Structure 1
């Protein structure tokens, strides 16, 4: 008696869904993945700009050397060529005064940071001690934690706030201290390899969607795009099938949701959402937006790979030509505003004007350059809002239904809601699936 090849249905083709598809394929599962959009990538996608006809990312997505699972996944699908490690040793920061400084993104670099007073640096001893028990920080916001640890308002404005917005995509007033502490512990206090920043030097479609799709389809797995799961059929605490909007039903041994929590709530029958805290708690989660401003100039306006800023509204400026090793015009720059709730109702022209004014103040060469083209992109639900309350509500990968797993950057992974969290959630799901396969194999062996 032999065990038939198990089948898995994955709903959603972002980082979480595609990485799990690869992990399960390695375990011997036959995969069918549904993605409602024409393009794969989820919330990390690229699109074709109508004017330039070039691929443009929906935002500047960064990796770190500490993203171990993400980097293994990218290596597995053969997309390492699309990544570029940080080439500059120092991270440029512009203070609220407009002064530009540099720091090395590790512990020694922080101790040498001009934005921190000697008192701030001395108080880092207490702050680092608090990293020993991250759970004690789960009920605090970043602001509360930093104030408790004696960090001055100036140091918060010129360093900690920038770090919080860059890594957690939300304001220190609301972001959970445990999340920032995790970033510090795994990134800044790790080794030099973990602390380095890594950029996609191609568009996100070439980094993720194309190579993952090719990897899976070459091995006989199915990726069905433009196909939306409308509902999930449940009986006796198990998923029986998924039904698409056209009425077609699909069945498998294992079902996995790899979509944002808002989408998951739409496909679970309302009775189960209302009766099971696992699902009803998802209604309490909130999201945080990101606004990206793309600008193409006829001349280079700064040479750094990227620059952080405490000066105004734009938190980071990225030099897309440098990152992509493009040395000719037009010169493409991207400004990023994290946690940008205050700009969601602003027009794109208003947002563009904010970015242009700050660029001309901070990078004087911009006054001598001609802006050829611009593009503003609003991601209204870019990430989970990392509040202390949301940390308590993030669900486990295992759902109340035996054969239904839930993955994504927003589930409980002990990491902030980042790309690495998405891939780690997929790894956790693969471990559950592997354990179940062993149980089934044991049953078959005993029956034989």
Structure 2
């Protein structure tokens, strides 16, 4: 028994040989920074923080801490840096490329307790938030101000996670992605120092741009398409979202809807009442001219919310088609002129693979996702899923696109990243990372 306990102790913190305090001493040092209730080395807690929604499997962190403010984050980072301990940030765990996996062990910094909205500047169309705030929480807070934070990746992700992956989403065509909406960041560097990316005086924490106006009206629209080739649209003031027939069937079952089981384009129009009427008319004419079976629309907030809920729950709707399975989602982005081509090819590849999968995407910017169901214990099925994802990534690259639209590289797309940017690109990225993270402690084992 004594030998087993000793082995278990040495199994914790694989970098223990570099830690002069020893395992127990290091954990006590973490507790001294954030408080005893906010540090855990329990196996169940560590396992929870070592996985996201992806199928990637790797070891959990050695400890989890919940800092309450940026000063504590800085102190934890400095402590880890002094002892050569890896650091892995954690938001809500909704990522799907293994970004939170602790490849080399280390300390997971869970940011969910840093969830305050610090300052709203309605006249400047900006808001200052802590990194653990989620997009739904922010928009609930903004509701009475007439403002709105538009980036919507589907999941109720934390703003820090959305910034880390450069999240896109249903509104990206009209309002941009995270990189277009983040004005400034207060960054904790690996050694604990603080960096303000746009100066310290005007934007004190982690501000995000918000857009909108109390006088704007919204409408949700959708139209089933007879084929996947009618996906190019003029520059209307709209938010387009595409769901193929498999996904529509899944959403009907999961959301108790009665939509046509056909490739469908959801559209949400933004603008004044007169502008909306003109846009709806133009969109309906375009849809019918391109062979859409019908064009329907919803004006009331409840009906619109029900339709968009189907899209937001697409991930879970797919999982419900095969209980017990895991979802494997891959995303690519191509020039919009090549979008119909790659979507049609992808549908053909899905049929040929024999896999259960569906296509859903923010197609207005050439970005779409393919969600596949897989039994992670079935090595052969997992191999076919990964082969399909690699083939899709290479199709996108061949069409002068990118292997990821918004999910990030994480663990699963490192080879595709090399093919996309080449040896010089990878080496440049390594040099940049080495400048900011010379000891390689910030979420190591990912991307590069």
TM, length-normalised to structure 2: 0.21
TM, length-normalised to structure 1: 0.21
Greater RCO between the two (CA within 8 Å, min separation 6)? 1
> Higher strand share goes to which structure?
1
